[in-house]
Amino acid sequence: MTKKINASDMRRAVLYVSNREINLQNVSDDDFLRMDMCKDLRMGNIRMANVAIELERVHGFDLPMKVFYVRKNDTIGEFINAVNQCLAE
């Protein structure tokens, strides 16, 4: 069975790498998935890479660099889709 990540996994990784106080406790999963990593969470390329590294560390998999290029947009949901697509390959 292929590993997959979900909104909870992503939420933990985002909170871990953010050095700013981001309150995501009252944000529903649906709203969280629609959040833009750049605009809403103010994450740049380095923080996005750190999120990927944190997911790799916690879940014990390696992601290819293409995870950053196969996304249609910068939403959390699209990042999760890209990670899961890479894990399925």
pLDDT one-digit tens code per residue, 78-88: 999 999 999 99
What is the DSSP annotation of 6-61? -HHHHHHHHHHH--S----TTS-HHHHHH-BTTTTT---HHHHHHHHHHHHHHHT-
**pTM of the predicted model as reported, rounded to 2 decimal places:** 0.90
Which CATH architecture does the domain made up of 7-88 adopt?
Orthogonal Bundle (1.10)
Structure-token match 């996005």, residue found: 48
CA gap 72, 12 in Å, rounded: 23
Domain ranges of the chain: 7-88
pLDDT one-digit tens code per residue, 16-70: 998 667 888 899 999 999 999 999 998 988 999 999 999 999 999 999 999 988 8
